[in-house]
Structure 1
């Protein structure tokens, strides 16, 4: 009987480690976050992710969140198209802008991943439910998001997998750069909705990614803002040689109205026939390792890197 009890106690002690994902460590972990160092006694097993970049990263690491901000409350558009087939069965915990504390608590997380911008006023409340790692996802550039991949990998005991993801990405980007035309003109990129045009500068995720794969972003960070709205007149002042539009297939972008204005025809990118469109949901809302693979493939397929006329499916047709 004592041997049985001893074995039972030993099994109970080992169970958390046995349930970790393959390749995961069980040691205490500490990582830097936007609100200081976060320390966990052991890697997290039950994670709630409040941004799509966190969902993407966790899934790429082989960790399935117990909850995620997949809802459409507050006008959110739900998971990006490339992520939708992967998130079935994950419990929605509200939307990114309107997370539900009740749904998050019901998921019994031992880690919450929150965004520094969207959740700046609510992260303290999340921390009452579970340890909360705050990262600047919405306003981060490619390097910052890659660093988050590493830190999230550490938090869930998958650092080796995270380092492999980053190594694979580095190789992929190097291959993409081989397609980039040498000394191609600079580009301007922006998210276009029915009412606005938001420029994505060198410090934005999409803007810095397109630089990483070999093209030069014409717009630096402005007054500390990695993204800012502009008008048609403002776009004319920038006069891009190449224009990248991130639009949604179910919306009529404001540029459709601008295209009827003679000022639009003065844009060098329009005259050159170098206006490209990409799905803004996939390109600007996912921001994770899986999104980057899709974006790299489309940057090549669209012929943006080659500075050639847009391939079919990527041409802007107002």
Structure 2
């Protein structure tokens, strides 16, 4: 704070007053600088810039935080302080868990993540059935952060083109370990506390579900059959619903996928499915004919699970989803169908 200098009766007094004022101003500025330094470097309470590996820059009275991070492919990117316009195809589930919506959502043709449409009804769909959008199309959505959920999305020069539009973070495979990728998303978007709350709530849900399922699934096995246009496959334990049922809920899987993440199923292979329960998924409604063909065969009707009436068709809408919202719905279905 500056005080008015009182006029002195002599030149000497005037010079002295000016000199004292300059000393006072210098002292105040030094003290302010020291206080700022102490606030940023207190032990155990580092500045945001130090924590994130970036630097705090001030524009007028609005401080911003520039963070430099590396993605899972080793790209070094600079993140905006608080990214709001996010393009993250196939990560919509996790974004919603963090309380955010993307600028555009993934879709296969006109079909998006059906189980998320109540929350995403106002978000435009982008058809990714033929690949990711061109840089020109993406630029029209003005993203300030691009997040690609798998390394294959970044191939063929797409990363280089996208990174010219906005900082672009690439996962190796965000669908493989949703908990880990949710934590990373929380860090990128400044939503770590939201990610932590979501994971704790999910852990509690898993715990309660396992207690309900314990008696019904002890010593039993589950098979998850996916009927699609191109064929029939048995889903393993590394992704999507298989990850939830086998790893989170701890229900044993058939021997056909003990070491593999999936297995092609034909009438010849069908007798090897040693499962007490079978979950059936008609992928995007394109497996109807194959379901009729296989389920009408004597081989199918000779399976133990079929004889016991323990075959259940479940919704492809969330059983093929990737994120905690989908996982919670899968848990609800599993408990409802098995823990009777």
Contact 1:191 1:200 in 2 (8 A): yes
Q: Is the 8 A contact 1:27 1:41 kept in 2?
A: yes
CA RMSD of aligned residues (A): 2.6
Q: How many residues are treated as equivalent by the alignment?
A: 274
Equivalence for 2:67: 28
Shift of 1:210: 0.4
Partner Cα distance (1:66, 1:50) in 2: 10
Matched, 1:262 2:301: no
When residues 278 and 88 of structure 1 are mapped into structure 2, their CA distance, relative to the original with a 3 A threshold, is same
Distance in 2, Cα, partners of 1:158 & 1:118: 26
Distance in 1 between residues matched to 2:326 and 2:129, nearest whole Å: 18
The 5 Å alignment of 1:241-256 reads 241-248=276-283, 250-251=285-286, 252-256=288-292
Aligned-pair distance for 1:36?
A: 5.2
- Inter-CA distance 158–64: structure 2 relative to 1 (3 Å threshold): same
**Structure 2 equivalent of residue 62 of structure 1:** 99
State how far apart, in whole Å, the 1-side matches of 2:243 and 2:284 are: 24
- 1:147 aligned residue: 180
CA distance in 2, matches of 1:261, 1:148: 42
Alpha-carbon distance between aligned partners in 1 of 2:151 and 2:291, rounded to the nearest angstrom = 28
Instruction: Give the alignment partner of residue 235 of structure 2, picking from 196, 200, 216.
Output: 200
CA contact (8 A) 1:188 1:240 kept: yes
Retained in 2: the 8 A contact 1:203–1:221? Answer: no
Larger % of helix: which? 2
CA distance in 2, matches of 1:134, 1:229: 30
Q: Distance in 1 between matches of 2:294 and 2:78?
A: 51
Unaligned runs of 5+ in 2: 1-58
Aligned CA distance change for structure 1 residues 130 and 100 (closer, same or farther; 3 Å):
same
8 Å CA contact retained: 1:245, 1:276: yes
Residue of structure 2 equivalent to 1:40: 79
- Structure 1 runs of 4+ off > 6 angstroms? none
Q: Which has the higher contact order (CA 8 A, sep 6+)?
A: 1
Pick aligned residue for 1:282 from 318, 328, 337: 318
Aligned to 1:112: 146
Q: Which residue of 1 aligns with 2:201?
A: 168
- Shift of the 160–216 alpha-carbon distance from structure 1 to 2, 3 Å rule, reads same
Contact 1:192 1:198 in 2 (8 A): yes
SS of the residue 1:62 aligns to = coil
Show structure 1 runs of 5+ residues with no match: 1-8, 18-25, 309-318
User: 1 CA distance for matches of 2:231 and 2:191?
Assistant: 40
- Mapped to 1, the partners of 2:108 and 2:205 lie a distance apart of 32
Q: TM-score, normalised by structure 2?
A: 0.72
How far apart, CA to CA, are the structure 2 residues paired with 1:78 and 1:217?
A: 31
| TM-fit CA distance, 1:158 | 0.3
Inter-CA distance 62–302: structure 2 relative to 1 (3 Å threshold): same
Identify the match of residue 132 of structure 1 among 168, 177, 202: 168
